[in-house]
């Protein structure tokens, strides 16, 4: 659809660090050359928190343009296709890095060296449509008709968000969870349900925890067991 053009990413090969720095590909904050993290598209598009951020920016524009249902549906498809289609690595600032579950040391090293992380390249939109649809629903209040909704497989013990098949989650043993809460690394207003076998953390809550551990210099690899895909190394 020609009426909508994304301007969030600078495009081109981020592997070659441009002179004079660049901006975070998530929030557009200027970054020093070599600062932050370099991520592959496959690591970005599985983050429900990223999609929420993305669509929050999109919604302002959609409201301004007073898009109808058909146009909104096209907008969702457009953003999904363009985001999944990013072939170059993503520059991500410190703050935004808390949305992603990656090996943070490696992602930082790639940013410093200007090298592409493993798995850099496009992703099939169908592989991340579920996560995008979730973010869309949270921001726009309706589930995109083009994406079939999966039934939840679990609920996050921290934020009570539904967790679906394919989402990376973490299982944190109760004693470790108590320590993380005491250290302020896991925020829960209410008490946690009693789960002797461990607490399930959704992707956003897991990513926040691992980022907090990494910043504190702790060993993120010992946070718990991550399911489904690669566990971040500490």
Whose Cβ is closer to Zn ion: residue 125's or residue 131's? 131
With respect to Zn ion, which residue has the nearer C-beta, 26 or 102? 26
Q: Which is nearer to Zn ion, 67 or 159 (CB)?
A: 159
Binding residues for Zn ion, rule: CB under 5 A, are 24, 26-27, 29, 93, 96, 156, 158-159, 161, 202, 205
Q: Which is nearer to Zn ion, 128 or 158 (CB)?
A: 158
What is the three-class DSSP state of 1? coil
DSSP 116-154: PPTT-S---HHHHHHHHHHHHHHHHSS--TTSPPPPEEE
Shortest Å, Cβ 70 to Zn ion: 32
- 8 Å CB contact between 207 and 47: yes
Q: Give the chain's length.
A: 234
* Sign of the dihedral through C-alpha 115, 97, 221, 41: negative
CB of 91 to Zn ion, least distance (A): 9
Q: Cβ of residue 232: shortest distance to Zn ion, in angstroms? A: 16
Min dist. Cβ of residue 131 to Zn ion (A): 14
């Amino acid at each position: 659809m020609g009426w909508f053009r994304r301007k969030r990413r600078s495009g081109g090969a981020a592997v070659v660090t441009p002179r004079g720095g660049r901006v975070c590909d998530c929030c557009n904050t200027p970054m020093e050359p070599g600062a932050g993290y370099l991520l592959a598209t496959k690591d970005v598009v599985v983050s429900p928190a990223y999609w929420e951020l993305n669509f929050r920016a999109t919604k302002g524009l959609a409201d301004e343009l007073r898009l109808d249902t058909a146009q909104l549906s096209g907008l969702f498809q457009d953003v999904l296709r363009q985001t999944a289609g990013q072939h170059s690595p993503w520059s991500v600032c410190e703050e935004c890095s808390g949305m992603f579950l990656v090996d943070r040391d490696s992602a930082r090293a790639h940013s410093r060296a200007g090298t592409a992380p493993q798995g850099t390249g496009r992703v099939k939109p169908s592989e991340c449509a579920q996560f995008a649809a979730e973010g869309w629903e949270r921001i726009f209040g309706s589930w995109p008709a083009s994406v079939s909704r999966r039934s939840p497989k679990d609920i996050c013990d921290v934020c009570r968000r539904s967790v679906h098949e394919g989402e990376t989650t973490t299982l944190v043993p109760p004693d470790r969870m108590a320590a993380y809460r005491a250290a302020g690394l896991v925020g829960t207003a209410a008490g946690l349900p009693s789960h002797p076998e461990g607490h399930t953390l959704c992707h956003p809550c897991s990513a926040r925890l691992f980022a907090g551990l990494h910043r504190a210099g702790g060993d993120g690899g010992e946070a718990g067991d991550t399911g489904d895909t690669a566990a971040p190394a500490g």
